Chains A and B, each alone.
Chain A
Amino acid sequence: MPSWKDQMPSLGTLGPLIALVLACGFFALQSEQFLTGANFSLILQQVMVVGLIAIGQTLIILTAGIDLSCGMVMALGGVVMTKMAHDHGLHPIVAISIGFAVTAGFGLINGLLVTRIKLPSFIVTLGTMNIAFALTQLYSQSQTITDLPAGMTLLGNTFAIGQTQVAYGTVVMLAMYALSWLWLRDTATGRHIYAVGNNPEATRLTGIATHKVLLLVYVLAGLCYGLAALLSVARTGVGDPNAGQTENLDAITAVVLGGTSLFGGRGMIIGSLIGALIVGVFRNGLTLMGVSSVYQILITGILVILAVATDQLSRKGGR
Chain B
Amino acid sequence: MSAITELEPSTHSLNIDPRPLVLQAKGLVKRYGQVTALDGADFELRAGEIMAVIGDNGAGKSSLIKALSGAISPDSGEILLDGQPVVLKSPIDARRAGIETVYQDLAVAPAMTIAENLFLGREIRRNDVLGQWFGALDKRKMLEDSIAYMQELKIGIRSMSQAVETLSGGQRQGVAVARAAAFARHVVIMDEPTAALGVKEGNMVLELIRNVRDRGLPVVLISHNMPHVFEIADRIHVARLGRRAAILNPKAITMSDAVAVMTGAMKPADIPPHWLAQ
Contact = CB atoms under 8 A, between A and B. Distances in A.
A266 B111 CA distance: 7
B135 interface: yes
A147 interface: no
Contacts of B158: 1-2
A191 B116 contact: yes
A208 B137 contact: no
Interface string B230-264: 00000000000000000000000000000000000
Interface residues of A, number: 26
Nearest to B101: A205
Contact of A207 (B92, B116, B135, B139): B92
Interface string A185-207: 01111011011001101111111
A6 B166 contact: yes
B134 A202 contact: no
A192 B163 CA distance: 15
Interface stretch (B19-27, B29-37, B102-110): B102-110
**Residues of B in contact with A, size category:** 20 to 34
Given A205-B101, A208-B121, A198 B135 contact: no
B188 to A, nearest CB: 14
A2 B166 CA distance: 9
B110 A188 contact: no
Contact of A6 (B112, B116, B122, B162): B162
A188 B137 contact: yes
Given A205-B101, A206-B120, A198 B112 contact: yes
Contact of B161 (A6, A188, A207): A6
B134 to A, nearest CB: 7
A203 B136 contact: no
Contacts of B95: 206-207
B163 A199 contact: no
Contacts of A208: 120-121
B161 to A, nearest CB: 7
A194 B134 contact: no
A290 interface: no
Given A6-B159, A6-B163, A194 B121 contact: no
A319 B165 contact: yes
Nearest to A199: B109
Contacts of A265: 109-112
A187 B135 contact: yes
Interface in B118-154: 120-123, 125, 134-137, 139
A121 B18 CA distance: 56
A318 interface: yes
Nearest to A1: B158
Contact of A194 (B109, B122, B166): B109
B91 interface: yes
